[in-house]
A and B are shown apart, each in its own frame.
Chain A
């Protein structure tokens, strides 16, 4: 009996799922609605950032539609979860392109997924704008630009160079320690480029220690770092680990200045780490107090009851990059959009976004240096490195 009920319920579930899946089949550009795809983590350990991206896109699309839409059509965002897994990203993009017929894709928030999908993008000629995929190889591989991959953020070598340059030249630190997540692509990349620039400038890396994603205790590594007595500890990873490691560093009596990258900014960091991160610096994409940013922040907060994470700001700019390209292409044809994306030059909330034709990166985007003072993010200066 139980068996039959089980089979029955399961089949009903599958059939409804199938039916809803097929029901969404209306053609992307045909009709009054144009579909834009999004992929990223809605579940898994990156879910915090992924959900913020999708929320942002849905909010912006709704706003755009309420103010008359785009080229007379309404925009619909179709978002799929990847759990941060490249295999899932490939499936999700295949579904977006072939079944939902999206005209362009925004996301994903990991470089690995962005690299895994480029083959499909090229085969089906649909452009993708990655939000925070910072690995250089996302858009340029073996010296050749990937025609359908774009991004809105700056890349690891740049961010690493900014952090190292600021630490060495502006703050005058000569001895640095690095703690990084060896199993995380972003952390490994940023650590490598920070070390490279810092050493080129004449600084000394006194300790390089690693942990694994999912770890919560960093005292063994920190105790070792403490013995090396660095001026600054570079922590290129995300804010949950930053808060924990900063607190543990202070508990061990480490007084070095802490520094980090764009994995840091979040209201949750200040809440979690409190005074442990006081006096720390990090590299950011924007100044949170910039008046241009306030409007977005408030709208998001009003709609979702919490502050956007950094990914939300970048998803915001990716969205307007796409809108700009569609307007100038005056068409919803994915290839025409791609061509227009190559010449995007807009003012976003994360700075001026001028896409380089040969890199598909926003060129010369200045980084913002933020200091944590009195439990608040204090903008220090815009900082750019010339290479």
Chain B
């Protein structure tokens, strides 16, 4: 009994890492309709920003946290300006955005290896590492922080998109960019806002990931899991991305814990594919129309 509770908590904690990364990714997807593979690169840079703010400049945690968010925001907007805007201007199909994003992600990872170096770096301890012991079940403090932050940022985002004027503009742009431009919405600005938000979330995700695990140039590759989770949850749906992430985290944990950990991804991916066969638009997929 203890073990299964522990495993569920493990799963939730792994899921919240995926969720944190999936939200920003899914946000960009819902507006731009393409998989922003550069998101992983921005997350990785976020982790480095936070790390250097804390270690080199001795900033308090929350300053570093916000600072990393802001810096990643700038990076994400920069990526958008350099790698996507020229494509948007030409109405290029989504495939080209994806390739451009892959180029950007490759660039960022290798740029860090070439300049900062491949060494693994560790954040100084900010939260006491001793986990809470609830009758033999261990819950990490950082895990709870991450869980809270994933949920809060999701709610804040949903509020922002549903209830603010800018959010409505984002929705309109997602629905029909041309018509909303005619209605006087500055679509270019809206897209910058979306990338800025995505970048900020990426930065936060990067710092938390770095604090929980470690900082290294290949962090971005973890986002593949969030990508899978977001698709599974239903592309373009923020809630779907978060739910998909928690399901994937728990599924992986249960497979490792009660089946064969050697075949974890084989089993969990097969299950996800099977579920997609029955629910082809993911769990919370909005329309039956092809998004891509």
Q: Are A and B co-members of a single complex?
A: yes
Contact A212 B131 (CB under 8 A): no
Q: Given A48-B119, A217-B14, A220-B10 in contact, is the A182-B138 Cβ separation under 8 Å?
A: no
Contact segment of B62-70, B91-99, B258-266: B258-266
Contact A217 B131 (CB under 8 A): no
Contact A48 B138 (CB under 8 A): no
Does B120 count as interface, using CB distance less than 8 angstroms?
Answer: yes
State the CA gap A252–B9 with chains docked (Å). 11
State the CA gap A284–B256 with chains docked (Å). 30
Contact partners of A219 in chain B: CB under 8 A: 10, 13-14, 253
Main secondary structure on A side of the interface with B: helix
0/1 interface trace, chain B 120-140, chain A, CB 8 Å (1 if under): 101000000101010010101
Q: Given A47-B113, A220-B253, A223-B257 in contact, is the A251-B222 Cβ separation under 8 Å?
A: no
Q: Given A240-B214, A253-B133, A272-B214 in contact, is the A220-B257 Cβ separation under 8 Å?
A: yes
Does B252 count as interface, using CB distance less than 8 angstroms?
Answer: yes
Q: Give the contacts of B93-116 with A (CB-CB under 8 A).
A: 110, 113-114
0/1 interface trace, chain B 201-232, chain A, CB 8 Å (1 if under): 00000000100111011100110000000000
User: What's the least CB distance linking A230 to chain B, in Å?
Assistant: 15
Contact A209 B261 (CB under 8 A): yes
Does A43 count as interface, using CB distance less than 8 angstroms?
Answer: yes
Contact partners of A214 in chain B: CB under 8 A: 218, 221-222
Contact A227 B3 (CB under 8 A): yes
Contact B118 A220 (CB under 8 A): no
Contact partners of A210 in chain B: CB under 8 A: 261-262, 264
Contact B257 A224 (CB under 8 A): yes
Contact partners of B129 in chain A: CB under 8 A: 247, 251
Contact B113 A43 (CB under 8 A): yes
Contact A51 B256 (CB under 8 A): no
Contact partners of A306 in chain B: CB under 8 A: 119
Contact B122 A272 (CB under 8 A): yes
Does A383 count as interface, using CB distance less than 8 angstroms?
Answer: no
State the CA gap A48–B118 with chains docked (Å). 5
Does A200 count as interface, using CB distance less than 8 angstroms?
Answer: no
Does B17 count as interface, using CB distance less than 8 angstroms?
Answer: yes
With most chain B CB atoms within 10 A of its CB, the pick from A182, A217, A227, A271 is A217
Q: Give the contacts of B172-228 with A (CB-CB under 8 A).
A: 209, 212-214, 216-218, 221-222
Q: Given A51-B118, A210-B261, A251-B129 in contact, is the A220-B11 Cβ separation under 8 Å?
A: yes
Contact B3 A251 (CB under 8 A): no
Contact A223 B10 (CB under 8 A): yes
CB-CB nearest in chain A for B265? A212
Main secondary structure on B side of the interface with A: helix
Q: Given A47-B113, A268-B120 in contact, is the A216-B222 Cβ separation under 8 Å?
A: yes
Contact partners of B60 in chain A: CB under 8 A: none
Does B117 count as interface, using CB distance less than 8 angstroms?
Answer: yes
Does B164 count as interface, using CB distance less than 8 angstroms?
Answer: no
User: What's the least CB distance linking A184 to chain B, in Å?
Assistant: 13
0/1 interface trace, chain A 260-272, chain B, CB 8 Å (1 if under): 0000000010011
Contact A224 B256 (CB under 8 A): yes
Does A221 count as interface, using CB distance less than 8 angstroms?
Answer: yes
State the CA gap A240–B6 with chains docked (Å). 24
0/1 interface trace, chain A 213-253, chain B, CB 8 Å (1 if under): 01011011101101100000000000110011001000111
Contact partners of B13 in chain A: CB under 8 A: 217, 219
Does B171 count as interface, using CB distance less than 8 angstroms?
Answer: no
Does B153 count as interface, using CB distance less than 8 angstroms?
Answer: no
Contact B138 A45 (CB under 8 A): no
State the CA gap A43–B13 with chains docked (Å). 30
Does A173 count as interface, using CB distance less than 8 angstroms?
Answer: no
Does A320 count as interface, using CB distance less than 8 angstroms?
Answer: no
State the CA gap A243–B119 with chains docked (Å). 14
State the CA gap A51–B114 with chains docked (Å). 11
Does B33 count as interface, using CB distance less than 8 angstroms?
Answer: no
Contact partners of B222 in chain A: CB under 8 A: 214, 216
Q: Give the contacts of B254-281 with A (CB-CB under 8 A).
A: 254, 256-258, 261-262, 264-265
Contact partners of A296 in chain B: CB under 8 A: none
With most chain B CB atoms within 10 A of its CB, the pick from A211, A219, A220 is A220
Contact partners of A43 in chain B: CB under 8 A: 110, 113-114, 118
Contact A209 B138 (CB under 8 A): no
Contact partners of B133 in chain A: CB under 8 A: 253
Q: Give the contacts of A24-61 with B (CB-CB under 8 A).
A: 42-45, 47-48, 51
16 contacts between A and B (CB under 8 A): A2-B86, A42-B113, A212-B264, A212-B265, A216-B209, A217-B17, A219-B253, A220-B7, A220-B14, A220-B261, A223-B257, A224-B258, A239-B120, A240-B216, A268-B119, A272-B120
- Which residues from chain B sit less than 8 Å from chain A, CB to CB? 3, 6-7, 10-11, 13-14, 17, 86, 110, 113-114, 117-120, 122, 129, 131, 133, 136, 138, 140, 209, 212-214, 216-218, 221-222, 252-254, 256-258, 261-262, 264-265
